[in-house]
Chain A
């Protein structure tokens, strides 16, 4: 039964990659990267179970934390982009 979930997660990863490649604005790509990250966490958890090695769950936990930090960092650096590069750069606060 784990194979079905693994296949669903892999297909969703491919769809998220398509959004990352297509997305017109940069926020679409960040959304796709975040979704990719959480799907990777799910994939790692299910495959750790499939292999019967529960100590591989540490990787999934580390990955969930790193994904969060990565998305916040990307958003902070988008906010800091120089004025000349961004067309849609709104208020700086």
Chain B
């Protein structure tokens, strides 16, 4: 049973780590703001879920597992909301999804 938990935990942590890394690469390499938001927010949430569930399996039934469940719940609620707010703010400010990169006054930097 402990071996099964270990294997499951290992698998979840590895896949979670892979998601996190893919998110980072996506945020760096995508061409437009909205595609970057898409890459960063999806992989953020999914990677966080997998990693935290993986750690919870190692923690067993204890106070640490309850705290991890609370962290998971808050991340699930707040991370997509923040991405939604960011995308709404960008859209309301006038940035349209397009092929080329939009820039503001930092071009003179």
A54–B69 Cα distance when bound, in Å, is 13
Interface residues of B in 28-65 (CB under 8 A from A): 28, 33, 36-37, 40, 44, 47-48, 51-52, 54-55, 58-59, 62-64
Contact present for A15 and B55 (CB under 8 Å): no
Which chain B positions have C-beta within 8 A of A14? 24
A1 pairs with B13, CB closer than 8 A: yes
CB-CB under 8 A for A27 and B105, given A12-B23, A19-B28, A41-B48? no
Q: Is the CB of A5 within 8 A of B101?
A: no
CB distance from B71 to the nearest CB of A (A): 5
Footprint of B on A, CB under 8 Å?
A: 1-2, 4-5, 8-9, 11-16, 18-19, 22, 24-28, 30-32, 34-35, 38-39, 41-42, 45-46, 49, 54, 57-58, 60-61, 64-65, 67-68, 71-72, 75, 78-79, 85-91, 93
B positions within 8 Å CB-CB of A? 9-10, 13-14, 16-18, 20-21, 23-25, 27-28, 33, 36-37, 40, 44, 47-48, 51-52, 54-55, 58-59, 62-64, 67-68, 70-71, 74-75, 78-79, 81-83, 85-86, 89-90, 92-95, 101-107
